[in-house]
Structure 1
Amino acid sequence: MLPTGLISLALLLAGSVHGRKTMGWGHTSSEHRFVVHPQVPASFLAEDAAPFDVARQFMNHIYPGDYRIRQDSYTDKATGVTHVYVKQQHQGFDVFDGNININIKDGKVLSYGDSFYKGTSNREGSQVVLNSFAADPSSPADLRKTLMNFMIIAAPSDRATSELEVNFSQYLEGIEVTPESHFVEGEQPYTYFSNVPTAVSPVKGKPGYVQTESGLKFVWKFEVEMEDNWYEVALTPDGDEIPFVVDWAADSPIPDTLKSKDPKPATYLLFPWGVNDPSEGNRSYVYENYDSLASPLGWHKIPASSLPSGYFAPTPPKKGDIVNFTTTFGNNVFAHENWEGRNAWLHNERPDGGKGLNFSYPYDPQQSADGQAEAHKFINNTVAQLFYTSNLVHDLFYRYGFDELSGNFQQHNFGRGGAEGDAVIANAQDGSGYNNANFMTPPDGQNGRCRMYLWNTASPYRDGDLEAGIVIHELAHGLSTRLTGGPRDSSCLGWGESGGMGEGWGDFLATIIRTHNATDEEIVLPMGAWAANRDKGIRNYPYSTSLDVNPSTYKTLDRPGYFGVHAIGEVWAEILWVVSKKLIAVHNSSDTLFPPKPLDDGTIPSEDFYLPPSYDNKGRAEPLVPIHGNSLIVQLVLNGMKLQPCRPSFFDARDAIIQADEILTGGNNTCLLWSGFAERGLGPDARVDGRTPWGGGIRTNDYSVPLSCITDEPEPTPDTL
């Protein structure tokens, strides 16, 4: 918890080297834990027990206090694991950082993460009077002043800060307060604050508690959307303390009831999937190769009932219609230019492929005295490339389990569950900066926002939209944020090792997707090298299994310069890269990470991608198991995200991946996985002494594997996967 007087120091430490101001900190309980194979009473082991009944039994077993089961809990259709998300409550209010996630299958608790407060009943500020500020704006409980003080701290520039300070009273009087008119059972309603300066939408707030070393402290939690940030912040009512703040914006410095009436696919002249950037290949004609399971309508159609608010059509569609777009506008992605760098996007310019959906545009930038103007000439190509890459990423992630129930980004969810109306808003050549990219991930049901920038690192300027690895990295922020801790909690990857892994998963997925010859042990892959015009890329080291090329181990996090999330993330990505190469060495590599498309009857052929389908003793289909090492590690990483707790450590994420293999393959790769983690110091006895809530402490590497893995038996082969 930071007093407001220390905010300047925190901003100095947390600020982006690329100029976008950002904040992120909070308290992590020393009792935070992730438990695999917990000991539970035998009565819990009824195979046919309903998962939510098991969850309630388990909660009553480990925690006698108040809680609520969140509505975004779900059963994974692929694995059969039910992910139950539990929020701690006190006096009817949420404890915002009190979370338990329980993973259940066949009546059994497989694992759980726990960050509930377990201290004494002596809670700070336990007497709560609701909405007293609304009745008397001049009272000490006037939260408008508290919110205004935060906006001064969060203001994007010194000029904006000065403006808010000089005209504080005027802005304060303009803020309107409106209580929420509908209620969700078990939750406190939101209060909306309109006309908040530098916010681009009404600020949502609700009361609750956060954990401190001395007890529970009463706070208000606000969701503040700004041009360059989207903060979730807890403030004490007097505004003197900020217990936690998470920026949902993450930088990269550098059913078949609806059918399309027009099945003709679009054509694009672009850098095809698998070409990471213009240095690796040429543009060619590619097609709208959408996955019919992930994108039943293709990429350029939206049901009329799911059009974004404010959309105006010359001919208003009927409710049951499917609207066909000839621009880069569809159910998964809205792509367009954003040269002004503003929050407005709905009516920004987009390329129009006409009735034939032909998106073929020139791309031949030349050296120019005005690099930005030169890049702008090719905006149609840029937007089409961003649209194409983003849709393929959507379809790929979907096939590995990032579907509607787990919180993916779609305008229409086809009756499959989850909150809809949240396609990705993708800004090409965003005018708010250079040499960067970022992604904002609000909770499920609100649009994610991807902003790609020009890079003035070369002449002509280089366009980040054309480096697929950067786009994939950004979209992976949406993936990891929605899968970790549940789709309606975007606070789980805000700082420390958790925030770092949010960056690391993006680098890892971008790297394994671009790898053409994954069995090549000598391959060296930098991140962002083309856009940055720098051979080693934008990280300290390129990704490689060679310790001479990339010496990163878990202990590396103790080094100077490894406090920030990007440096932490590259260590995690390197560890995952080494783990992936262990699997690939045994199981080889697939030429494509895209699974085979479903047949007309909805079944998925195994082809040369999955092991033959298997069934349990009740005749239920078991999850499909990828044959190859590269597709298998992607599946395990995504499944692990669903298993791990909110604000996971490296240890938690490691254990979740290993358990994901137990669930998927019966643990056939346990020792392979351990050998990969141990090679970079993350063996079973790795530890942190003196860990701080912000990621400090002294780390000790462990290069050993569990005793059960020390054997003369041969490693698994593809036949025993």
Structure 2
Amino acid sequence: MVAFNKVLSSVLLAIAYSSVASAVQERSASESLKHSTHRVRHISRELTLEVYHPESTFETFGDGIEQKLEARAPRDLNSTALAFVRSRLGVDASSVGFKSGYEDGREKYAYVKQYHDGVPFANCVANIAWKDDKVVSFGSSFVKSENIAGSRPTVSAASAIAKAEEAFSGKHNGIPTSIEYLAQADGSAALVHTIQVQSLENQLWYEVYVDAHSGEVLSATDFFAHASYTVLPINKKILTEGQETLVDPQDTVASPSGWHAWGTTTTTTTSGNNVVAYRGAQTSLTSQSATGLVFNYPYTATAAPSTTANINAARTNAFYVINTVHDFTYRYGFTETAFNFQNDNFGRGGAGNDRVLVSVQDASDINNAGFGTPPDGQNGICEMYLWDLTTPNRDGSLENDILVHEMTHGVTNRMTGGGTGRCLQTLEAGGLGEGWSDALAEWTQHKSATVRDFVLGDYVTNNPAGIRTRPYSTSTTTNPLRYSNVRGLNSVHRIGEIWGNILHNVYAALVTQYGWTANARTNPEGTQGNVVFLHLFLDALRLQPCNPTFVTARAAWIQADANRYGGANRCLLWRTFASRGLGLNASGFVDNTAIPADC
């Protein structure tokens, strides 16, 4: 989600430093763990949940480690993954179960769930990556618990559904409920009914965990991560840069049937295999303005967004932008087997019937935007709103950085943790999600090797400073944010600004080193800095553990470079991360500028 209002006030946390340094370190370590394992969710006036996710460990192995024959890839990815997890964690076969996995060239990825008595854990997952049959990374949030509830529920699913609907002011959406274990902060494991509850008019979509013995609501996953076509080309950010008419912008490598066909279905509306863009109801679409899939609907900024022409322009632009992000992220690894959004997966694996539903000028909110990312096989939902800070109001669907930001939530939530939508749920991981979304929005806007400061949301707010507290910048005067600034923050958007600015600096370093190409969206084989950046961006997502921290997300970038580029950018990355406090020994939101000795 994009935070669209400036912070009105700041809470200044005064820390009285003790003469005993260890006291400060203990407090910092405690806060760091809280950020990486907890998140407070205010569901309603009556219900506040402090949700818990077990701390993830993450190991990277550079060039990779050899495994015994029975635990090596490839043979059977399922059994190979299970054998490695059993060996690495010292658990028996009944404690692990294969969730998902896929191959991508010389690399393989697998996601494994923890089990007890045949029941999976909802929040305990391991992920393994191989390159050339060697394990290059391993993440795990498995737990050891002796206090485990009985595996047979004593509260019915119907009763749990009613409890979830009442607590969350929504309705069970028909997705079958399941029985899972939920690891708790006190070391116990509760048996829960897992239930999806929705109320899209209220921008609400939760996976609720109701204790299957007591009927108590214990936790929840929030699936919403609240930020020829006449359109704003993807490398233009705002309406004042001028619309253009683009001919055949689809990438048929990523969308082999184009944007308007899947299976035996073809359309002449803003509806296709990857995206449907509508207003109000999913049948309220924009139809071609002339035969041959011509969508020529210029937007008139001096008219109200609700005029027919402007509604058509909004739907067309949203359809174009979300499809374009689908296509270029596909080129870089967000494919069917990596849990992307498509109705028809063309027999390439993954779960289909989950294209993105984009609701433009959505009436459920204002001055905002949101994206709901459920598990692979369920539609992603993007809600775009109007902004009432000007007269006439402005439409978020005509500011491309907002659309890209929202679609990126779908990418990061699907690629982290194996397509469950559950693995960016802690406060710190949610902050990283906001940073990634800003960074990819910025990536689409660069027009040359010159890396300028970047602001988000300046058009809809009519404010050149945009919606973040500072521009993203390589200048420590313009933007002094560092890893240590995470300490004390309780807003995912404020935390996201720190990660977004670190990635801005990583991008700048790579482009300075290798240059820039305008063909990056369709040529992932290039050697230029913007190509390298996007490869590492997406590669790191599938390497990192469930609910990553700044430290483990950084480690995933370093390992991604080892996998794809043989570590060619290792020292560049370390220097850049360290320049903003995320050095070799950074932890607990204490800055560190150390880099490896050989750098």
**C-alpha deviation, 1:216, in angstroms:** 1.7
Residues 21, 125 of structure 1: alpha-carbon distance in 2 compared, 3 angstrom cutoff: closer
| Aligned residues of 1:455 and 1:532 also touching (Cα < 8 A) | yes
Aligned counterpart, 1:509: 440
SS at match of 1:110: strand
Aligned counterpart, 2:7: none
Aligned counterpart, 1:125: 149
Q: Select the residue among 356, 376, 384 that pairs with 1:424.
A: 356
Residues 209, 391 of structure 1: alpha-carbon distance in 2 compared, 3 angstrom cutoff: same
Distance 1:628 1:563 in 2: 37
Q: Select the residue among 568, 591, 594 that pairs with 1:701.
A: 591
- CA displacement, residues 368-392 of structure 1 (integer Å, 9 cap, x when unaligned): xxx5645x55111111111111111
Residues 273, 146 of structure 1: alpha-carbon distance in 2 compared, 3 angstrom cutoff: closer
Q: Percent identity?
A: 34
Distance 2:446 2:486 in 1: 27
Aligned counterpart, 2:474: 545
Residues 20, 641 of structure 1: alpha-carbon distance in 2 compared, 3 angstrom cutoff: farther
Aligned counterpart, 1:225: 198
Point out which structure has higher relative CO (alpha carbons under 8 A, 6+ apart): 2
Q: Select the residue among 230, 236, 253 that pairs with 1:269.
A: 230
**C-alpha deviation, 1:420, in angstroms:** 0.9
| Aligned residues of 1:421 and 1:446 also touching (Cα < 8 A) | yes
Tell me the number of residue pairs that the alignment of Structure 1 and Structure 2 aligns. 554
| Aligned residues of 2:157 and 2:177 also touching (Cα < 8 A) | no
The one-letter amino acid paired with 2:180 is G
**C-alpha deviation, 1:349, in angstroms:** 3.3
Residues 24, 417 of structure 1: alpha-carbon distance in 2 compared, 3 angstrom cutoff: farther
Residues 373, 512 of structure 1: alpha-carbon distance in 2 compared, 3 angstrom cutoff: closer
Matched, 1:237 2:212: yes
- CA displacement, residues 427-457 of structure 1 (integer Å, 9 cap, x when unaligned): 1111111111111111111111111111111
Distance 1:28 1:204 in 2: 23
Q: Select the residue among 345, 354, 368 that pairs with 1:413.
A: 345
Matched, 1:570 2:506: no
Q: Select the residue among 394, 398, 401 that pairs with 2:333.
A: 401
**C-alpha deviation, 1:142, in angstroms:** 4.2
Residues 296, 20 of structure 1: alpha-carbon distance in 2 compared, 3 angstrom cutoff: farther
Distance 1:701 1:123 in 2: 38
**C-alpha deviation, 1:243, in angstroms:** 3.4
Aligned counterpart, 2:318: 386
Q: Select the residue among 232, 239, 243 that pairs with 1:278.
A: 239
| Aligned residues of 2:578 and 2:595 also touching (Cα < 8 A) | yes
Q: Which stretches in structure 2 are left out of the alignment for 5+ residues? A: 1-38
Distance 2:492 2:316 in 1: 31
How do residues 617-628 of structure 1 correspond to structure 2 at under 5 angstroms?
626-628=526-528
| Aligned residues of 2:81 and 2:112 also touching (Cα < 8 A) | no
- CA displacement, residues 439-489 of structure 1 (integer Å, 9 cap, x when unaligned): 1111111111111111111112111001111000111111111100112x1
Aligned counterpart, 1:639: 539
SS at match of 1:477: helix
Matched, 1:529 2:504: no
Aligned counterpart, 1:351: 287
Residues 670, 438 of structure 1: alpha-carbon distance in 2 compared, 3 angstrom cutoff: same
How do residues 140-151 of structure 1 correspond to structure 2 at under 5 angstroms?
141-151=155-165
Aligned counterpart, 1:87: 113
- CA displacement, residues 186-205 of structure 1 (integer Å, 9 cap, x when unaligned): xxxxxxxxxxxx31622532
Larger Rg: 1
Residues 567, 20 of structure 1: alpha-carbon distance in 2 compared, 3 angstrom cutoff: farther
| Aligned residues of 1:268 and 1:384 also touching (Cα < 8 A) | yes
The one-letter amino acid paired with 1:517 is S
Distance 2:68 2:335 in 1: 33
Aligned counterpart, 1:248: 223
SS at match of 1:378: helix
Q: Select the residue among 36, 57, 60 that pairs with 2:83.
A: 57
How do residues 706-717 of structure 1 correspond to structure 2 at under 5 angstroms?
706-709=596-599
Distance 1:200 1:234 in 2: 13
Aligned counterpart, 1:27: 52
**C-alpha deviation, 1:22, in angstroms:** 11
**C-alpha deviation, 1:21, in angstroms:** 12
**C-alpha deviation, 1:291, in angstroms:** 1.2
Residues 366, 72 of structure 1: alpha-carbon distance in 2 compared, 3 angstrom cutoff: same
Distance 2:211 2:188 in 1: 14
- CA displacement, residues 223-263 of structure 1 (integer Å, 9 cap, x when unaligned): 222222221121213556443211101112xxxxxxxxxxx
- CA displacement, residues 637-680 of structure 1 (integer Å, 9 cap, x when unaligned): 10010111111111111111111111111101000011111111
Q: Select the residue among 30, 33, 36 that pairs with 2:60.
A: 36
SS at match of 2:490: coil
Distance 1:23 1:447 in 2: 27
Q: Select the residue among 482, 490, 504 that pairs with 2:421.
A: 490
**C-alpha deviation, 1:42, in angstroms:** 5.5
| Aligned residues of 1:433 and 1:453 also touching (Cα < 8 A) | yes
- CA displacement, residues 668-705 of structure 1 (integer Å, 9 cap, x when unaligned): 100001111111111111011xxxxxxxxxx2011121
Aligned counterpart, 1:204: 176
The one-letter amino acid paired with 1:379 is I
- CA displacement, residues 536-586 of structure 1 (integer Å, 9 cap, x when unaligned): 211121111111111111111114xx2121111121111111111111111
| Stretch of structure 1 that moved more, 531-540 or 388-397 | 531-540
Residues 572, 241 of structure 1: alpha-carbon distance in 2 compared, 3 angstrom cutoff: farther
Aligned counterpart, 2:10: none
The one-letter amino acid paired with 1:450 is C
Distance 1:400 1:221 in 2: 33
Distance 1:386 1:327 in 2: 13
The one-letter amino acid paired with 1:534 is N
Distance 1:471 1:673 in 2: 28
**C-alpha deviation, 1:145, in angstroms:** 3.9
Residues 426, 546 of structure 1: alpha-carbon distance in 2 compared, 3 angstrom cutoff: same
SS at match of 1:75: strand
Distance 1:362 1:46 in 2: 56
The one-letter amino acid paired with 1:588 is G
| Stretch of structure 1 that moved more, 401-410 or 347-356 | 347-356
- CA displacement, residues 477-529 of structure 1 (integer Å, 9 cap, x when unaligned): 11111100112x11101121111111111100001111113433xx2211111
| Aligned residues of 2:160 and 2:193 also touching (Cα < 8 A) | no
| Aligned residues of 2:131 and 2:563 also touching (Cα < 8 A) | no
Distance 1:231 1:282 in 2: 38
Distance 2:477 2:531 in 1: 27
| Aligned residues of 1:51 and 1:105 also touching (Cα < 8 A) | no
Distance 1:200 1:153 in 2: 12
Distance 2:551 2:158 in 1: 41
SS at match of 2:477: coil
The one-letter amino acid paired with 2:233 is P
- CA displacement, residues 614-636 of structure 1 (integer Å, 9 cap, x when unaligned): xxxxxxxxxxxx31111111110
Distance 1:373 1:473 in 2: 24
The one-letter amino acid paired with 2:291 is K
SS at match of 2:334: coil
Residues 242, 551 of structure 1: alpha-carbon distance in 2 compared, 3 angstrom cutoff: farther
For the aligned residues, what is the CA RMSD?
Answer: 2.5
The one-letter amino acid paired with 2:465 is K
